[in-house]
């Protein structure tokens, strides 16, 4: 069984000092295993701080991932916006790498009214550019385009998997709550979650499941997809079925809780996961 680490999207709410270093120490106190550094507005962390974060994360044995800024659209019709989007991903990847993060995820693009294959090619071309720049810098952080929560956004499972298959150094980030919201209530059964994981295995191999970057939370949604995150038990998100599918498919990697309840729901996920993994306990 590959090791699955469960943690929070950002600094736990119960952390007294509001810093990444303090958040990492709090996660160790709670018995959680990972933290996603949330650069969703902008990348404010500087290199000296990132180096300190890496030291603390290594000492506390907390694995790190990164979420790049939301303001990314690699399919913009304005060249300057594409360039700015690429720079935001690069900045998050660079600071994340210095901090010791394994993976950087992002919402890649919007479709607008464009042909879907044309959108795919635009995203692919930009990600190839980003990957080449990082490779030239010796930066091995994994680029992880995310499955997105609205039909207007690029980011279906097949699109993300295709990018991962065609670009070395690009891997999927699967947000189970986004799948549920994007489909207006589907993707909420064991069979549906299992089918997603089996598809990833068929297309990318078991190794993709052994180091999978994932998000989960409760979620409010409608015909246009995601509205907002909710606490797990205040939503209809079948998180137990997600965990069962992860266990049955030998999934390891990072399961990041994006719930407003952060560490409380991350602990709920961990306790449920351990109970399902060892039902005789």
Distance between CA atoms of residues 274 and 271, nearest Å:
5
pLDDT at 279 over 90: no
Residue-wise pLDDT tens digits, 79-109: 999 999 999 999 999 999 999 999 999 999 9
Query: Residue 22: its pLDDT value, please?
Result: 97
- Supply 234's token pair: 């205040």
pLDDT at 280 over 90: no
CATH number of the CATH domain containing 23: 3.20.20.150
Distance between CA atoms of residues 170 and 177, nearest Å:
21
pLDDT at 9 over 90: yes
Domain that holds residue 25: 4-277
High-pLDDT (> 70) share of the chain, %:
99
pLDDT (average), residues 183-203: 98
Residue length of the chain = 281
Residue-wise pLDDT tens digits, 244-263: 999 999 999 999 999 999 99
Q: Note the pTM of the prediction, 2 decimals.
A: 0.96
Mean pLDDT (the chain, rounded): 97
Q: What is the domain count for the chain?
A: 1
């Amino acid at each position: 069984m590959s090791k699955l680490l469960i943690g929070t999207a950002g600094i736990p709410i119960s952390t007294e000092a509001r810093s990444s270093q303090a958040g990492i120490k709090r996660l160790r106190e709670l018995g959680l295993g990972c933290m996603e550094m949330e650069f969703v507005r902008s990348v404010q962390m500087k290199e000296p701080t990132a180096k300190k974060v890496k030291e603390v994360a290594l000492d506390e044995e907390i694995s790190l991932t990164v979420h790049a800024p939301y303001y990314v659209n690699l399919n913009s019709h304005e060249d300057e916006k594409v360039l700015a989007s690429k720079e935001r991903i690069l900045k998050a990847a660079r600071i994340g790498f210095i901090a010791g993060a394994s993976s950087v995820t992002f919402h890649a693009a919007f479709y607008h009214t464009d042909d879907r294959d044309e959108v795919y090619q635009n995203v692919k071309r930009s990600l190839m550019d980003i990957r080449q720049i990082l490779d030239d810098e010796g930066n091995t952080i994994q680029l992880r385009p995310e499955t997105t929560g609205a039909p207007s956004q690029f980011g279906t499972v097949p699109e993300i998997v295709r990018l991962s298959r065609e670009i070395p150094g690009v891997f999927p980030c699967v947000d189970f709550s986004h799948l549920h919201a994007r489909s207006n209530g589907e993707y909420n059964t064991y069979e549906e979650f299992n089918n997603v994981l089996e598809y990833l295995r068929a297309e990318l191999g078991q190794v993709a499941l052994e180091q999978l970057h994932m998000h989960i939370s409760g979620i409010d949604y409608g015909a246009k997809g995601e509205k907002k995150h909710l606490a797990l038990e205040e939503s209809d998100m079948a998180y137990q079925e997600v965990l069962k599918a992860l266990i049955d498919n030998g999934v390891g990697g990072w399961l990041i809780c994006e719930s407003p309840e952060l560490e409380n729901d991350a602990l709920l996920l961990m306790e449920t996961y351990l109970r399902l993994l060892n039902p005789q306990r």
